[in-house]
Structure 1
């Protein structure tokens, strides 16, 4: 990503990052996690299948930092994964000036790196390049946000109480984007993670039942940022700062004959927030999320976004940013490719742009560009195949009213009271500490990897950690979802290896210590 105005070329932008991962558990944490897994339904419903846990320098660094600053280390690792996928990028800054595994930002408006140096006594240069020091600095900054909020020693033991501290750590430009950032971290805690980092070290964290304490942010809009996009159905709208774009009347004022593909060098929420920051002097028309292909529009197509580093190309193109880093292929998911390709195809159809590599280009192909995005890991062959063909793989949806494919006990009441539901109604039940699962049965066409999406109406009275049970080819896994937020739309809870056949593939359990009604509405499987 790079902005440009006449005779003015500036560096690209973005920030933060989204996804997740984690570290090794202490014996006490292991016992708690095992007990929580059983309480969530490891008997009749099945428990999450865990990968191996191995010790290593990064795991040790997280353990030391968490202990030094009394930060829940699963939360600390999840935050780091959301920011960088646990990659320090050899001390090189992100587009917004963030450094290291913990993405300690140093730019004209945010001085997290300098704050970390002050709190830890470590030089800024060390914090930039040394993973262990950087993780310690991130823990110190996060703890400082907790101290500002007045979290005492007892409150600090509950990961849910850190929600507003995490939102503050994100350095976002507005409260709604701060919630998007924090929700990403807490969604990762609910889903659990396994990641292999440099040197083959494996860091894992089990799916954790955490009820986020959002405080005043509970009343803000849900996880999906912004109202509907004015130009692309299904996308959200969050306007970039007026000082980061040029109002125009395209295609009347300037022809549109190019699509430029970018990588944010940062995270989804961070890129959206950065475009709202007047110090950024950059923007793009769209940003695409890695995990599920969610799209946010930040500049109208009729207007000129500052993304290409070349004024002529800015005036004639649509810029699409993709969450991630050019050096890390893990960000470029099939869901991202498909969603972006569908967007590009629609843009080409709107403006009569040929669907070829002469007109759909990478940022590095812009004349005079100094950037390399989307980089060598971007799969152009797959992307163009999706642009010119179909981006729709096998997919099936089961609603709670689908005959012969949904089953639940009489305790699951039918309700049509909530807005944002899928279909005419949904099921709801009070949480209990016993097995009672509402099951969705699918005819899975072939063994393979499938994305699981869920739909539910969100409301303050719904459950903060509703357990979704997925029947994978290696056993059942439990994923915890905060049904108070992110509703009224398809929400990905992860990708899973499934076997072929007709069976109860996904369920919603009542076995949770979370407060509020558990909702069973609709589930969608998509083969990747």
Structure 2
């Protein structure tokens, strides 16, 4: 009570200061650090890794974390059903040679909420502040984080030093991780932030700065006194800069000769791995892990936890997981599930998870020679339907609230201009925080979603918002502003050929149409680029577009059923150009039995080009198109 009495005067004016003045939040960090004898840089560094100092207007993260310190109070987080792959009509396996797989969602077993999801109640005990205030008042939230760090330092028997190097153990404990590898990876990230420094304006308009300390070398030996378990890395395929554990998905037979939940393979010896697919889980960590260990469910290679960036690997890179809804993409990709929810704008992802994911993707891309661009680092929402009948049922995660621009900065491939105004291409790159298109359907159909930053830009049939939205004929319905409606939407990092300019509006070729988006010169939503594009060969009015690059029928051996080379309900008309992602051979992985001895990789003579056709990527036959430089 004495501590609480001392703290209340400190925070009395903080709510208005933290939201109204330019430096109110910075002052809150300074005050809280002084009150709890925590180095200000440590408090700022931990908060940056949790939230990048954003407040999210008091809304909880995907794991029930609040405020700039991401104090967790996730009493309802674990009640969410992991329904991502069991919802809707998409067949996660996406292979017509086998019966469609629509797994039933089994609600996860409820258990005690782990300590990492109950840090806000502990902060309330330490500060005497109410839980409501810790959720909604940014200054109180910062004070709660400082109190937790100070308590962790005392529990470790470490001095209340002013030297940031002496706080490594407390920072590791703040992560909430119960194992040394995750806690160390988290603490290492915080100290990396301290060494480089940061400065940014938050979502509440606050300017917050952390000065660089390039020579800072923490006492990592403190972690040995933290009382955490040592995890078994097992058979994981992860870089040493992340925390990774092996939680295998079962490759088992069940029922009437059926099996799941992935296929054994021999990649990259038998097939190249060309893509990494970014998903969100639509469920909480514990429930998702239960699902992926069910042989009757589906699978993916990795799951990432939001609170601290911890990674679980389930399927080897050599094997084919069932995750993307398109067998061609599945057989040539690695799938990453991120703990989160598409249609909850303020159910935000932590910086810890973004960084962990970027390190994993950069590692996998280097291992398998995968280009770090949006035609190879796919969202699940950019995977094409394999056939015309599947287009409507394809999934739409991670959705418009995944911060692709920041993600590619973390990958070491920031989205920058690569040409002048005559380059012929544009790369979509809005400012995430200020780009706030209207969406509906996050809570209920037709109801407006919360106003929020977005990676996506809306497309119109003319140079102005009075024109109708661009229509996707494959969806068979009128376009809407629904959060799951991809008909008239482009996303950060995607590249398109320029089709025209009218004042502040730029036209691109999109789904066989001229589509317009607002792109003012003073605040552009795209940057100039150049590269290869395809257009139909001379004399052709249009060419078919495909959702998979399958071989011609003559390429199949007698014991492997030939798969149809079926076009999508789109065409690429003469005179239009589309950005090329690369050339690939026609290829099909035949794997419909549990016995891997019957599996075959069929490679044809037909070649395809991957293109950015609409919101999703697609393929065209090389024999149908000419390739040229975008600026020609």
Shorter chain as denominator, the TM-score bin is 0.3 to 0.5
TM-score normalized by the length of structure 1: 0.44
TM-score normalized by the length of structure 2: 0.38
Looking at CA atoms only, which structure, 1 or 2, has the larger radius of gyration? 2
Q: Which has the higher contact order (CA 8 A, sep 6+)?
A: 1
